[in-house]
Amino acid sequence: MVIYCLALFIGINTMIMRLLIDVFKLIEVSPTFQSTFERIAMVFPPYALLSGLVDIHRNQLFADIFTLFDQDTYVNPFSMQLLGPYYITLAVEGFVLFFANLIFELFSFSTYKTKTIIKSIVHNEDSDVAEERKKVHLNDTSSDILKIVGVTKAFQSMFGKRVAVDNVSFSVPRGECFGLLGVNGAGKTTLFRILTGQEFGWWPVRL
């Protein structure tokens, strides 16, 4: 959200600068500065989009005016002459930013996956839960087929961070029928989604 707002803020302000320089002619600059400014501003998608819309309207306005003098100056908006640079720029930026966001989402918390999250035992924790956590942390699970240490999952929302799974540790011995008990919203479904790879969490797991 911060990156989006920043890009939108910069894009709109650079667009205002272009209107003042190129359209309304309120600011006088050299052609070199104007060309350099436009190339740099094209990095921001909001500027490329708004600048393309300005060119479309200016093209239509000039065509309507010159039609009165029997001159055809209309340029096809889908041609490379008018909007070609914007098409190419937005396509490249969309491709790059999409994969950059994908990589960030996949690997932003990768450093936490290999760390053992050991927290102090929560006050008022059930004795059997505390015993299970202690057994897992002491590595007294050599014969178990599944070992989970400190699984944690938090969701970000407009209201802040909500912890769905908080430092869950347990192991499952071979041949045991295992299940989770808890009230609605305790994180049971989220935990199983993490185990099956449908969610990403902070979780050292050994199978």
Question: CA–CA separation, 199 vs 207, rounded Å?
Answer: 18
Say if domain 111-206 classifies as CATH 3.40.50.300.
Answer: yes
Reduced to 3 states (helix: H, G, I; strand: E, B; else coil), residue 153 is strand
CA angle, 7 then 50 then 92, to 5°: 65
Q: Which residue spans of the chain are classified as CATH 3.40.50.300?
A: 111-206
* Per-residue pLDDT reduced to its tens digit, 166-188: 888 888 888 888 888 888 888 88
* Per-residue pLDDT reduced to its tens digit, 97-148: 899 888 887 776 554 444 444 444 455 667 887 888 788 877 766 778 888 8
The pTM is what? Answer: 0.49
